[in-house]
Amino acid sequence: MITQAIILAGGKGERLRPLTEDRHKGMIEIAGKPMHLWQIEWLKSHGITDFILAVGYKHEVTEKFFGDGSKFGVKIKYSVEDKLLGSAGAIKKALNENSDQITKPFIVTNADIITQFDLAKMLKLHKQNGVLITMFLTPLISPWGIVDTNKKEHVIGFREKPRLDYWINGGIYVFSPQTRDLLPEEGSLEYDVFPKIPQDQFYAFKDEGFWKAVDVMKDKNEAEIFLASDQNLLF
């Protein structure tokens, strides 16, 4: 059973200033709770109890709030970056510092994600396929309305932010322990790791459940609307 997760929380969240002037964006409150806490509670509901927070910018705020995690019913350790190592480098550092503890597949997630999907299905799929990495994919929703026209360029319809016929990387993964050897000391998953994974060892898990990456204030507002109205869907 997968019980461990690494949350990547090393960035500065500059597009969410001034909210991130005194904290990492994972500590921004959404519907009354820091984003990190929403993540941890969601993961805990799927049996994840041991966490490593890969932190950097304003990490003291995160550590003061969560401590060792015991008041939230989980175990939390911290891997502190003195400089930005990139997503792959942050995972590598966290693994190196806890090499004796991470011996089974584990979750990796970005710190700025609020989501609701059946993680248990993704974990089951990873185990069944026996692959190195399983990536969560979410539908691409157009950030703008789509205008439909006919052959004479008459406007015949308007669709407000429809789902497009593509899937995007949702920033949540299941990693097998063997991936440790493929991770650089510094670099990104997208450019320095994923291209090296054999196709038959890299699987996608598609789900249409709620997903929002909180990069700008508009994302924060949309996540708050969802959480305020449908909190029970998360767990």
The CATH number for 26's domain is 3.90.550.10
* Backbone phi and psi for residue 41, each to the nearest 5 degrees, phi listed first: -65, -40
Residue 103: closest CA among 193, 202, 4, 220? 4
Q: How far is CA 57 from the centre of its chain?
A: 18
pLDDT at 116: 84
pLDDT at 92: 92
Residue 185: closest CA among 105, 97, 117, 124? 97
Residue 131 has pLDDT above 60, yes or no: yes
Structural domains counted in the chain: 1
Q: Domain of 156?
A: 4-234
Question: Is pTM beyond 0.95 here?
Answer: no
* Backbone phi and psi for residue 204, each to the nearest 5 degrees, phi listed first: -110, 140
Any residues with CB less than 8 A from the CB of 205 and at least 6 apart, and which? 121, 122, 125, 126, 134, 135, 136, 137
Separation between Cα atoms, residue 169 and residue 25, nearest integer Å: 20
pLDDT digits (tens, 9 = 90+) for 10-49: 666 666 666 666 677 788 888 888 888 989 999 999 999 9
Return the structure tokens found at 18.
């001034």
pLDDT at 106: 93
Q: How many Cα atoms occupy the beta-carbon half-sphere of 103 within 13 Å? A: 2
Mean pLDDT across 112-137: 91
Residue 160 has pLDDT above 90, yes or no: no
Please give the span between the terminal C-alpha atoms of the chain, in angstroms, as a whole number: 19
Residue 235 has pLDDT above 70, yes or no: no
pLDDT digits (tens, 9 = 90+) for 85-118: 889 999 999 998 887 667 789 999 998 888 888 8
Decide if 215 contacts 112 (C-beta within 8 A): yes
pLDDT digits (tens, 9 = 90+) for 164-220: 889 999 999 999 988 988 999 999 999 999 999 999 999 999 998 888 887 777 777
Q: Given the structure tokens 């008459």, which residue do they identify?
A: 154
Residue 228 has pLDDT above 80, yes or no: no
Mean pLDDT across 69-78: 93
DSSP string, 126-186: HHHHT-SEEEEEEEEEPSS-EEEE-TT--EEEEESSPEEEEEEEEEEEEE-GGGGGG--SS
